[in-house]
Amino acid sequence: MTEQLLSNALTRYTSNDIDASDQLFEPQFADIKGFKVRYVFSEKKSAPNLVLLNGFPQSIRMWQSAWPALTEHFNLLAFDIPGFGLSSASPSDMSPSKLSAIVIDVLDHFGFDKAHLVGPDVGVPITLATAINHPERLHSINIFDGPGHFPPAMSPILKAVINFRLVRWLAAGINKKAIMKTNFMAAIRDGYHHYRPTKTATKEYYQITHDQQAHQNSIAFFGSYQQELRWIGNHLSNLKVPALVTWGQHDPFVYASNADYLAEHIPHSKKKIFDNASHFSAEDAGDDYTKALIQWCLTEFEQVKVDNN
């Protein structure tokens, strides 16, 4: 059954294009403070540091299509958040505040004194927690398609997972296989407006969504949301780090109205909604997103801070 699911996905929902960035995008692993962290690093000395996190239930493969353009401007690092993608963790590690400490460990490992940090999906609360706890390490942040306050505007299914322990217990047990399938289809079909992932990415997302440990990690992470999102939300108005808030207008999971809330409550912020994009908006918006991120990191983040002082 599961092999047929992957076979159908590779036939029906993937791109047939050969990814020209394959030679530039070669993931490796590093042991960092007890975690086996999967990453891709493209060094460009004297350029600004840009660090990209992954969303759930995807991995750093989500950045492969934008990689060639970003390497022209940045000292560029992408890594799978421990517990998500293909980086290791255990359920006890899975909360935004705990994972924000690991973000700093990764910056230290690669010698980044300061960086622009991009957090999609589950990376939103992790990025915000990093900005709250370690503002001196960040030039700016870009957050999109994930929750940053409580209660977030989300689909009924996600609300149930966050709010009810019983739902999480069922998702970890008797409903596990159904949830794994749902997550996989979200990663390759339901989270997109028109973009189609590569076959390599699709195989990787299948591996992630059907891994027992990764499944338990995601449930533990969502279980932390009630407490952690309240804490994050209470600190938004005091955030010192400039924030670019982008979103897909057609996000069916974490609604675009979250972008309005975050932009209104973060003092030094700019909001951009992509009309032709869904939940995985960076890929759906394509060049429009990449250009917006480059412009933000090279010039706009400084101007936003000046304009709001």
In order, the DSSP letters of the chain are -HHHHHHHHHHHTS--S--TTTTT---EEEEETTEEEEEEEE--TTSPEEEE---TT--GGGGGGGHHHHHTTSEEEEEPPTTSTT----GGG-SHHHHHHHHHHHHHHTT-SSEEEEEETTHHHHHHHHHHH-GGGEEEEEEESS--SSS--B-HHHHHHHH-HHHHHHHHTTTHHHHHHHHHHIIIIIT-SS----HHHHHHHHHHHT-HHHHHHHHHHHHTHHHHHHHHHHHGGG--S-EEEEEETT-SSB-THHHHHHHHHSSSEEEEEETT--SSHHHHHTHHHHHHHHHIIIIIHHHHHHHT-
Domain containing residue 54: CATH number? 3.40.50.1820
Q: What is the mean pLDDT of the chain?
A: 95
* Range in 19-23, 104-108, 271-275, 300-304 with the lowest mean pLDDT: 19-23
Please tell me the predicted confidence (pLDDT) of residue 2.
72
Please tell me the predicted confidence (pLDDT) of residue 238.
97
pLDDT over threshold 80, residue 307: no
Tens of pLDDT, residues 218-236: 999 999 999 999 999 999 9
Total of domains in the chain: 1
pLDDT band at 305 (very low <50, low <70, confident <90, very high): confident
Rounded Cα gap, residues 274 and 252, in angstroms? 14
pLDDT over threshold 70, residue 156: yes
Tens of pLDDT, residues 40-77: 999 999 999 999 999 999 999 999 999 999 999 999 99
Tens of pLDDT, residues 2-22: 779 999 999 999 987 766 566
Please tell me the predicted confidence (pLDDT) of residue 16.
78
Place of tokens 């957050």: 143
Q: Is the pTM of this model over 0.75?
A: yes
Domain with 256, as residue range(s), is 2-307
SS (H, E, C) 227-241: HHHHHHHHHHHHCCC
User: Once rounded to an integer, what is the mean pLDDT over residues 203-232?
Assistant: 97
